[in-house]
Amino acid sequence: MDPTNLVPSPDSIPAAAWIFEALDVLLFALHILVVDIVVGGVLLTIYFHLTQRKKSALQPPDSDRLPTATAIAVNLGVAPLLFLQVLYGHFFYTSSVLMATFWLLVIPLLILGYYGLYVHRRKLSGAPVLAKTFLVLSALALLYIGFMFVNNITLMYQPAKWAAYFDNRAGTILNLGDPTLVPRYLHFVVAAVAVAGLFRAAVARFRENRKGTDETATKRAGLRIFAFGSMAQALVGFVFLATLPGDFILQFLGGDLFSTTVLLLGVGLAFAAIAAALRNNLDATLYLLGGVILAMVVNRANLRMMYLEPYFTHDALEVDPQYGVFAVFLAVLVVGVGSVVYMLRMVVSKKEASL
Amino acid sequence: MNYPIWETLTIGGGTLVAIIAIFHVYIAHLAVGGGALLWLADLKAEREGDERMRAYVKKYVWFFLLLTMVAGGMSGVGIWFVIALVNPAATSHLIHNFVFGWAIEWVFFVGEIVALLIYYYKFDDLDVKQRHTVAFLYFLFAWLSLFVINGILAYMLTPGAWLETGSFWDGFLNPSFFPSLFFRTGMAITIAGLFGFATALALKDEETQTRLTRYSAKWLLYPLLPTALSAVWYYYSLPPEVRFVAFDLNAQSHPFVAKFLGMSVVLFAVGAALVTRMPRAARLILVSFLIVVGLGWIGAFEYVREIARKPYVLREVMYSNSFTDELGELADKEGALATAKWTKIKQVTEENRLEAGKELFLLQCGACHTVGGIRNDIVGRAERLTYLGLLAAIEGQGKALTYMPKFYGTRAEKEALAEYIAVELLGREPFTHVKTAPPTYPDPAEPLPFDAARDEYVLLVWNDLGMHCISDSDPRFVILPPANTLEAQLIKRGAKPEIVDEGVTLVYRVEEGFENPSAHVEFWDYAEKIFGAKLEKNVGLAGLGMQGEFHRNPATQSFVAELIPVVPYPDGGGVNPYPYFYVEAIDDETGEVLQRTRAVAPTSTEMGCLNCHQGDWRVEGAAGVSNKTADNILAVHDRINGTTLLEDALAGEPKLCQSCHADPALGAEGDPDVLNFSAALHGWHANYMPYDDYRACQMCHPSHPNGSTSCNRGVHSQAGVHCDDCHGTMEEHGYSLLKAEAHKEPARRLMKNLDVRESVGKAGVIPRTPWLVEPDCLGCHTRFQASEAAFTGFNKWQYRQNLYRFRTDGAGVRCIACHNSTHAVYPAFNALEENRDNSQPMQYQGNQLPIGAERNCAVCHKTTPSVELHHPNILRPFRNRVLIEP
């Protein structure tokens, strides 16, 4: 069966494709940053409880922030998933149906994971065993969700694998045979730990600035987690690259100028970030991380187009413009972000006033 | 068909969506209404300096955050996930057409959660004014979220001008946008009150608890009137067709509407009761109860909305099974399997029929029907149908009952699907056509004697219709009672023959064995209930029994014996739809028998209802409507029309169909708003008929060649002229009958999907009143000549007294007297016994031809006439001699 015939015909899109691609990349970068803070934060908190060191540099754990970060992570995930569906919905819905049962379980597990973080936070002093149990359950739920996203996204790229549907319509097809699956997944999980480490350092500095406490140890610990995590991440990234189909590797290594440039930029920034972290330069590390994430998200988009190239390019999408509505969206976005900033300033100024 | 289908046959995708969606909307409406409650309660607390109220607000907000942000927010994403799995095509449509709408909604969602998080976490840190601003912003963003999603949801039900323009704003600000927005806002406030009760309960202090319960009750009760008004507005914002289909035609909506209204009453009554003083435990029970009722309340509403959208998921854009009209047309032409991307089988073959049927089921039915599952179980629905019934249901779905989409695909695909359901899901034997045991073959009777030299009279007797069907389902319903009418003319032979209709009496008696119809049917047990007539056993509705006298009908110089209650069941057993009647003409003065002859009184109970409606033949595997079949029919009628016929029949009160459905055949006036009987029966079933030629007629009428009757037995049947050649196809026939009733709404609905041949066109169809406007011989036999090759009787109607069965020739002789009844025109070929209908030609002429055919004027004329007195073109050889020669 020719997999091309299985690819659904797409609907027309209401603005130029690059707009959605750009929105997708930007918002996914923000989303994955907060996801890293949540997932990495949960894993570090588990590690903290496992080691049980009172004087740990992991003190205080992230417990307080995790539920809120989860809310923001999910919220920031909605937009890129929306824009992804505008451009690649016909691939994404198909792969989602193939793994429907596992995919839908993401929702109850997300609710469980989210509530688990609240239980963990509220019961930590009163019922520590319950709290820790829920923390582990939340971690498992979050790791499951990430794994399913990686399955779905990689399956969506590969219509050649879709024919498995004809032997299994129960929605239980996963992309387990794909050699890139595990490296790709680990690439996200390891990144999460590194980023969460760096986030701890940033929060520690925030606390330091506000309360005047000495947070040097926490900041250092966070930066070290980031540095060593990123080193591991480089290794995983290398394995991930190596498991990609041969011609994709060639494109990333000189074959395609843009892809190669972005990859080199991402890797270069990552090494620079590691170096900055090892020198305890928090600001530089944070800025560099921003660059790394953005570059890596663009990398990811480049890889997507390599996968889809035999089946689809953006030119195939008919544009049926709704720029008026787009303008309304931008206006609402400005007002919405303005309101958020207004509210946040209210909180921050309150703090400053009370200092 | 673009996407693969997730096989969730037992749960069903619809149920998954419903579970997640109802859970979500309950909380999402709370998020909006609760936002307003928090903000206003917080203001009130500050204004009144009420510390307890402030504490209450703080308590509420924690609970609120946990519920709305976690369960509410995540389940909102869940709806998106699940609809994309269950109906990816529709999801894609909504995403692509409204992506900026969703994006705007997302911005509001950001504002909503940021505001709520700040409100909760910084409740004590912010100054009062700031806190109130944040609370207000939370409510505003939450309501704006509702505003946006409401537009897209309402679009799904009432796309309005979007259908023409495709414009975002036309779709978004669609006809039900504002009523739905008001209605949902009202519900949101009510639900806020409901949850207000729950949080008030958590307060320890009894006085505050009572006060806040009363405060919450206001939230519950105040929106009552505006919400009710906006519900009415909402209802009337739907196009009339949608209202009719959803709330009248589709009985599925009735329980949900009832639940919604009932629960509204409970909600407001119990809510009002809560303001009274009562023990905490009682309050706890009532509030818990109300929270559950609230879920049912909003769930019922959402179900009603979903049902109102049927058969579409996106009204007038996409059906629930993701088909569009465009895809459907393609599937009709090229096959549903061939045009779907995600089917393993592309074409139905003998070998893959069942597998292909399953593919088709998934493709077209699985979106709404489960297999043995929770919702719309196909097994339960299909159980009452036979294979042919299923085939008919597939053929007709979406035509008369427009809350289902049509089935799109080829004939072979329809058959494969019906077979899959019958064999695989219902465990029936693979399909064979309804078997009919052979009828009882009577011994051929010798022709009665006629002495051409000495006999002075010719007696011609006939049945008025050629076939009289009887529904012997008296305990359940009656379509047609046993009531056979015979007519006769007596001709005195001579140089100038005379029609004699005075001074003679015609007497009749039925063939031996048929004298006691009451032993075989239950007509007499129910006659009083059904016809209001107290009848002696074996006496018919006009007072005539199995033997008796004709009465004179001077207007037509004929004799008539009306409504003789003969049935096709002889005492000796078996089935014989052609019992003889022996008739004698007796001179009133001398008592001399002037002539005797016999004619059949065709009477059949072989009504093919069971082909689709289940059950077996009632009598000897050959004829009769069994109770099982009758019950099935009544149940369907009740379900679709909201009648209680089955219940009434089982309580011993069967009805005559014509008590509501007017029918000239019975002289029944019926209910003026209801379709006449023929129009209803043919018009309805024409929408379902899986055949478009004479086989359609054979499904119900006793004309199937394997049946016990084979009623179409006249010369035309042998000449290859079928039912549809005179009456038109089933669809045309139904259409012509419905057109005469087109002032009634159901007729227009039934006509919509019926096809009429292009040469006539729907506009060209001449309306017909059943029994009084019929096809006629001269429609094809123009000026009594042979018909042309491309003959058709359709749409060339004859009216009332000019109909063949009433007409006389120039000499006063009835056409039917010499040619015999319709459907049995001489030479007739009766399947029971070839010459059974030809008694009189055999008696008077020694052949099977029409009386006087082949210049055999001597039957009546003692001198050969030279003019074509009876009709033009009479003096010639019989045209179809080849049919009667061995």
Q: What is the pLDDT of residues B552-572, one digit of tens each?
A: 999 999 999 999 999 999 998
Mean pLDDT on B99-127:
95
Say which residues have a Cβ less than 8 Å from residue B700's Cβ, sequence separation at least 6.
Answer: B607, B608, B609, B611, B685
CA-based end-to-end distance of chain A: 69
Confidence of residue A180 (pLDDT cuts 50, 70, 90): very high
Calpha distance B61→B56 (Å, rounded)? 9
Does any domain span residue A99? Answer: yes
Say which residues have a Cβ less than 8 Å from residue A253's Cβ, sequence separation at least 6.
Answer: A260, A263
Mean pLDDT on B492-509:
96
Does any domain span residue A332? Answer: no
Whether residues B378 and B291 fall in one domain:
no
- Residue pair B587/B578 in contact (Cβ under 8 Å)? The answer is no
Say which residues have a Cβ less than 8 Å from residue A90's Cβ, sequence separation at least 6.
Answer: A7, A8, A9, A10, A11, B2, B92
Percent over 70 (pLDDT), chain B: 99
Whether the pLDDT of residue B266 is over 80: the answer is: yes
Whether residues B588 and B716 fall in one domain:
no
Give the residue numbers spanning the domain of B754: 660-854
Chain A hits for B20, Cβ within 8 Å: 107
User: Among positive and negative, which fits the CA dihedral B500, B505, B510, B511?
Assistant: negative
Confidence of residue A56 (pLDDT cuts 50, 70, 90): low
Instruction: Look at A12 and B96 and tell me if their CB atoms are within 8 Å.
Output: yes
Whether residues B503 and B485 fall in one domain:
yes
Residue B449 DSSP one-character state = P
Number of compact structural domains in chain A: 1
Residue A355 is predicted with a pLDDT of 43
Mean pLDDT on A67-90:
96
If phi over 0 gives left and psi between -120 and 50 gives alpha, with beta otherwise, what is residue B466? left
Does any domain span residue B877? Answer: no
Side-chain half-sphere exposure of B5, counting CA atoms within 13 A: 27
Joined tokens for residue A352: 């400053």
Residue B546 DSSP one-character state = S
Whether residues B582 and B713 fall in one domain:
no
List all residues of chain B from 647 to 686 with a beta carbon under 8 Å from chain A. none
Model confidence over B629-659: pLDDT tens digits? Answer: 999 999 999 999 999 999 999 999 999 999 9
Whether residues B293 and B329 fall in one domain:
no
Whether the pLDDT of residue A351 is over 90: the answer is: no
Q: What is the dihedral of CA B640, B643, B646, B650, to 10 degrees?
A: 170
Does any domain span residue B701? Answer: yes
Residue B593 pairs in a beta bridge with B586
Does any domain span residue B437? Answer: no
Residue B166 is predicted with a pLDDT of 94
Does any domain span residue A66? Answer: yes
Query: Beta-strand (E) ranges in B472-550?
Result: 477-478, 484-492, 498-500, 504-510, 547-549
Instruction: Look at B73 and A75 and tell me if their CB atoms are within 8 Å.
Output: yes
Q: Does A114 touch chain B (CB under 8 A)?
A: yes
Calpha distance A8→A221 (Å, rounded)? 50
Of the candidates A13, A162, A336, the beta carbon closest to that of B107 is on A336
Q: How far is CA A331 from CA B78, B107, B170, in A?
A: 28, 10, 20
Calpha distance B255→B262 (Å, rounded)? 10
Neighbours of B38 (CB within 10 A): 25
Calpha distance B816→B488 (Å, rounded)? 10
Percent over 90 (pLDDT), chain B: 82
Does any domain span residue A351? Answer: no
Q: Residue B59, class by beta-carbon neighbours within 10 Å (0-12 exposed, 13-18 middle, 19+ buried)? A: middle
Instruction: Look at A346 and B118 and tell me if their CB atoms are within 8 Å.
Output: yes
Whether residues B334 and B309 fall in one domain:
no
Write the DSSP string, B314-337.
ETTTEETTS--HHHHHHHHHH-HH
Say which residues have a Cβ less than 8 Å from residue B558's Cβ, sequence separation at least 6.
Answer: B487, B488, B489, B501, B552, B814, B817
Whether the pLDDT of residue A58 is over 80: the answer is: no
Does any domain span residue B276? Answer: yes
Does any domain span residue B604? Answer: no
Of the candidates A93, A111, A340, the beta carbon closest to that of B3 is on A93
The last residue of one of the domains, among B544, B577, B598, is B598
Say which residues have a Cβ less than 8 Å from residue B733's Cβ, sequence separation at least 6.
Answer: B682, B686, B724, B727
Of the candidates B114, B121, B344, the beta carbon closest to that of A166 is on B344
Mean pLDDT on B53-71:
89
Does any domain span residue A348? Answer: no
Q: How far is CA A120 from CA A65, A199, B146, B239, in A?
A: 11, 20, 32, 52
The last residue of one of the domains, among B282, B314, B346, is B314
Using alpha carbons only, give the angle B467, B471, B475 rounded to the nearest 5 degrees. Answer: 165
Q: Residue A2, class by beta-carbon neighbours within 10 Å (0-12 exposed, 13-18 middle, 19+ buried)? A: exposed
Residue B440 is predicted with a pLDDT of 64
Residue B316: name the closest of B97, B147, B164 by CA. B164
Does any domain span residue A203? Answer: yes
The last residue of one of the domains, among B314, B334, B349, is B314
Q: How far is B80 from chain A (nearest CA, A)?
A: 10
Model confidence over B763-804: pLDDT tens digits? Answer: 999 999 999 999 999 989 988 998 887 788 999 999 988 999
Model confidence over B287-332: pLDDT tens digits? Answer: 999 999 999 999 999 999 999 999 999 999 999 999 999 999 999 9
Residue B477 DSSP one-character state = E
Q: Per-residue b/e over A297-329, b at no fewer than 16 CB within 10 Å?
A: bbbbbbbbbbbbeebbebeebeeeebeebbebb
Average pLDDT over chain B, rounded to whole? 93
Instruction: Look at A96 and B84 and tell me if their CB atoms are within 8 Å.
Output: yes
Side-chain half-sphere exposure of B445, counting CA atoms within 13 A: 23
Q: How far is CA B449 from CA A30, B587, B840, B841, B854, in A?
A: 107, 19, 10, 11, 21
Model ipTM value: 0.96
Does any domain span residue B671? Answer: yes
Does any domain span residue A291? Answer: yes
Whether the pLDDT of residue B666 is over 80: the answer is: yes
Chain B hits for A5, Cβ within 8 Å: 341
Calpha distance B484→B191 (Å, rounded)? 68
Residue B596: name the closest of B485, B465, B488 by CA. B488
Residue of chain B with shortest Cα separation from A86: B96
Calpha distance A108→A131 (Å, rounded)? 19
Q: Return the H-helix or E-strand segment holding B564.
A: strand B558-564
Does any domain span residue A353? Answer: no
Neighbours of B335 (CB within 10 A): 21
Residue B195 is predicted with a pLDDT of 92
What is the total residue count of chain B? 886
Longest dimension (CA), chain B: 128
Model confidence over A238-277: pLDDT tens digits? Answer: 999 999 999 999 999 999 999 999 999 999 999 999 999 9
- Which CB contacts under 8 angstroms, 24+ apart, belong to B281-284? B283/B197, B283/B201, B283/B213, B284/B201
- Residue pair B624/B437 in contact (Cβ under 8 Å)? The answer is no
Joined tokens for residue A307: 């996968």
Calpha distance B466→B140 (Å, rounded)? 78
> Looking at A29-43, A340-354, B706-720, B746-760, which range is the least confident one?
A340-354
- Residue pair A93/B56 in contact (Cβ under 8 Å)? The answer is no
Residue carrying the six token digits 């949101």:
B188
Residue B438 is predicted with a pLDDT of 64
Calpha distance B359→B348 (Å, rounded)? 10
Number of compact structural domains in chain B: 4
- Residue pair B174/B159 in contact (Cβ under 8 Å)? The answer is yes
Residue B480: name the closest of B615, B294, B607, B332 by CA. B607
Whether the pLDDT of residue B352 is over 80: the answer is: yes
Q: How far is A110 from chain B (nearest CA, A)?
A: 7
Instruction: Look at A347 and B122 and tell me if their CB atoms are within 8 Å.
Output: yes
Q: Which of the pair, B660 or A49, is modelled with greater confidence?
A: B660
Whether residues B819 and B674 fall in one domain:
yes
Q: How far is A132 from chain B (nearest CA, A)?
A: 19
Does any domain span residue B645? Answer: no
Whether the pLDDT of residue B618 is over 80: the answer is: yes
Q: How far is A277 from chain B (nearest CA, A)?
A: 31
Model confidence over B706-717: pLDDT tens digits? Answer: 888 999 999 999
- Residue pair A350/B130 in contact (Cβ under 8 Å)? The answer is yes
Joined tokens for residue A151: 């399955």
| Crossing angle between the packed helical segments B13-47 and B73-86, to the nearest 10 degrees | 160
Whether residues B841 and B780 fall in one domain:
yes
Give the residue numbers spanning the domain of A189: 3-327
Residue B864 is predicted with a pLDDT of 87
Q: Which of the pair, B437 or B428, is modelled with greater confidence?
A: B428
Using alpha carbons only, give the angle B18, B11, B425 rounded to the nearest 5 degrees. Answer: 135
- Residue pair B310/B367 in contact (Cβ under 8 Å)? The answer is no
Whether residues B386 and B303 fall in one domain:
no
Residue B155 is predicted with a pLDDT of 98
Mean pLDDT on B200-212:
85
Whether residues B277 and B418 fall in one domain:
no
Q: Does B442 touch chain A (CB under 8 A)?
A: no
List all residues of chain A from 152 to 191 with a beta carbon under 8 Å from chain B. 162, 165-166, 169-171
Residue B50 DSSP one-character state = -
- Residue pair B810/B838 in contact (Cβ under 8 Å)? The answer is no
Residue of chain B with shortest Cα separation from A84: B95
Instruction: Look at B133 and A333 and tell me if their CB atoms are within 8 Å.
Output: no
Whether the pLDDT of residue B59 is over 90: the answer is: no
Write the DSSP string, B597-657.
EEEE--EE---TTHHHH---EEETTTEEE-HHHHHHHHHHHHHHH---HHHHHHTT--EEG
Whether the pLDDT of residue A55 is over 70: the answer is: no
Q: Does A90 touch chain B (CB under 8 A)?
A: yes
Model confidence over A284-317: pLDDT tens digits? Answer: 999 999 999 999 999 999 999 999 999 999 999 9
Confidence of residue B275 (pLDDT cuts 50, 70, 90): confident
Whether residues B80 and B104 fall in one domain:
yes
Calpha distance A114→A72 (Å, rounded)? 11
Whether the pLDDT of residue A353 is over 60: the answer is: no
- Residue pair A124/A131 in contact (Cβ under 8 Å)? The answer is yes
List all residues of chain A from 288 to 307 with a beta carbon under 8 Å from chain B. none
Domain with residue B419: its CATH number is: 1.10.760
Residue B624: name the closest of B689, B574, B578 by CA. B574
Whether residues B263 and B380 fall in one domain:
no
Calpha distance B287→B275 (Å, rounded)? 12
Calpha distance B846→B113 (Å, rounded)? 100
Of the candidates A100, A325, A336, the beta carbon closest to that of B108 is on A336
- Residue pair B515/B538 in contact (Cβ under 8 Å)? The answer is yes
Residue A213 is predicted with a pLDDT of 85
Residue A57 is predicted with a pLDDT of 66
